[in-house]
Structure 1
């Protein structure tokens, strides 16, 4: 009995959406560190930015807002609290309310011009129409594929 030789996919690796999305993420993280250094990570920035925009949010809601699992969010929040950038207040039922400290606000404000520089640097190879279309499609892709937006399958009793 002979085994069939597996067929290669009809498209090249560099044409696969997953590969291109991974490369785009690598590029974005590299640009982030190029502009801001390594004292703040992109996820830490997302937490600081979200706490600035939603002060006093609880840790579980924060995780949902930034699309990160709750245990990773808790770990990162602990590190940000140790740096003195956020305050975690214990609420009933072991929930935690999070807010920026003045030091956290200063870090975030210090990043503002770099964020704009980074955004423009990533997008400047596209013309204005392409930039708008790229962002429209990226938002649509994320929205349509976001696991948090998909209904949870619940077994039905028969």
Structure 2
């Protein structure tokens, strides 16, 4: 057995369990700092849409790392809230081109301070150098394990 492994009797030695707990903490802080107008997934979809106007909803879901059926549901909710518009793509009537509305852009702008506070609060237990190292390692962990996901994240440059 490699020296970095134990018998994993203690649940808090399992990286997946710690990642799940970190996600729970992150979501809790998200609502504290960002309010309840958007869920974390809605925020991620809207933020990605703002960066890629006109993207279709299948590609938007892929660049956000969620499955297409969840993506469609999230887009419908955002449309109901008046934060995005979906239009049929004439060359493919099954796809919808998405654009963020002025209200959606305004909301994202209003949420920037909350997003900054969220990041600061979540990373506060770490020193500055630890924060940089943690973000680098977390990014590497996600990127290197991307294909293991049920909804692999599609790189932005290959989607459209």
Class of the TM-score when normalised by the shorter of the 2 chains: 0.7 to 0.9
Q: Give yes or no for contact 2:58–2:68 (8 Å, CA) kept in 1.
A: yes
Distance 1:135 1:90, change over 3 A: same
State the aligned residue count. Answer: 142
Equivalent residue runs for 1:117-156 within 5 Å:
117-147=117-147, 148=152
User: What secondary structure is seen at the aligned counterpart in 2 of 1:95?
Assistant: strand
* Deviation of 1:88 (Å): 0.4
Secondary structure of the residue aligned to 1:25 is helix
Match of 2:64 in 1: 66
What residue ranges of structure 2 are gaps of 5+ in the alignment? Answer: 1-6, 154-160
Is it true that 1:89 corresponds to 2:87 in the alignment? yes
Q: Which has the higher contact order (CA 8 A, sep 6+)?
A: 2
Deviation string 1:58-101 (CA, Å, 9 cap, x unpaired) is 11110110000001000110111011000001113211111100
> Does the C-alpha gap of structure 1 residues 74 and 10 become closer, same or farther in structure 2, counting only changes over 3 Å?
closer
- What is the rounded CA distance, in whole Å, between the counterparts of 1:146 and 1:84 in structure 2? 32
**1:74-132 Cα deviation digits (max 9, x unpaired):** 01101110110000011132111111000111111110011001101111211111001
Q: How does 1:18-37 map to 2 (within 5 A)?
A: 18-37=16-35
TM-score in terms of structure 2 length: 0.85
With the length of structure 1 as denominator, give the TM-score of the two structures.
0.86
| Bigger-Rg structure (1/2) | 1
1:31-50 deviations in whole A, cap 9, x for unaligned?
00011222210001001100
Coordinate RMSD, CA, aligned: 1.4
